[in-house]
Amino acid sequence: MPPGDCATCNLLKRQAPPQQERFEFITEHPLIRSLSDYGRLVRSAFEGLHA
């Protein structure tokens, strides 16, 4: 194989892809509960097992 004719070399010759857009993240999602809600759920489930 001639020098510079490998798959890696060809990939390096390509132009860089355009910069990816930055997205704003929401702090809360209407369908996903917070971790504190799941913590309360787990604690209450374990309390029910040991009652």
User: Which DSSP string do the residues of 13-29 spell out, in sequence order?
Assistant: HSPPPPPPPP-PPPS-B
Exposure b/e, 17-36, CB count within 10 A at least 16 = b: eeeeeeeeeeeeeeeeeeee
DSSP state of 32: B
Statement: residue 4 has pLDDT above 80: no
Statement: residue 2 has pLDDT above 90: no
Q: What is this structure's pTM?
A: 0.40
Confidence class of residue 48 from pLDDT cuts 50, 70 and 90? confident
Rounded to the nearest integer, the mean pLDDT of the chain is: 83
pLDDT at residue 16, rounded to an integer: 78
Task: Enter the tokens of residue 49.
Answer: 């097992």
Query: What is the distance between the alpha carbons of residues 47 and 40, in angstroms, rounded to a whole number?
Result: 10
What's the pLDDT tens digit per position in 32-42? 888 999 999 99
